[in-house]
């Protein structure tokens, strides 16, 4: 029962221009998605603690919802799926939660 450190889909930045552009877009979108999810969690936490007014909740919710739609649209344009934005950090697992 030998454990193989098999990881095939590492994010590699290659040197030809087209691949570079694609990988860079992927990296940038990954970071945006990470920040978006962090903000979303923070909003949920603050909502649970009750330190947001109804009005604030509504505005934040709408903004985050639109941001999610916008992300989906941009990803679509670059031919990326949500799983493509999930960097594999090896022993640390993945950058974003998998679902």
Binding region for another protein (CB under 8 A): 1-9, 40-41, 43-44, 47-48, 54, 57-65, 88, 93-94, 97-99
CB of 37 to another protein, least distance (A): 10
Q: With respect to another protein, which residue has the nearer C-beta, 52 or 80?
A: 52
CB of 96 to another protein, least distance (A): 12
CB of 19 to another protein, least distance (A): 20
Q: With respect to another protein, which residue has the nearer C-beta, 51 or 99?
A: 99
**Spatial CB neighbours of 47, under 8 Å, sequence gap ≥ 6:** 57
DSSP string of 4-44, one letter each residue: -----------SSHHHHHHHHHHHHHHHHHHHHHHHHHHHH
Rounded Cα distance, 81 and 9, in Å:
14
Q: With respect to another protein, which residue has the nearer C-beta, 16 or 97?
A: 97
């Amino acid at each position: 029962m030998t454990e193989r450190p098999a990881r095939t889909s590492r994010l590699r930045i290659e040197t030809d221009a087209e691949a570079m552009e694609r990988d860079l877009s992927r990296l940038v979108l990954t970071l945006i998605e990470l920040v978006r999810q962090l903000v979303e969690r923070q909003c949920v936490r603050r909502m649970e603690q009750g330190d947001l007014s109804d009005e604030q909740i509504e505005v934040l919710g709408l903004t985050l919802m639109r941001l999610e739609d916008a992300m989906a649209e941009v990803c679509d344009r670059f031919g990326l799926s949500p799983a493509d934005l999930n960097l594999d950090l090896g022993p640390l697992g993945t950058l974003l939660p998998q679902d």
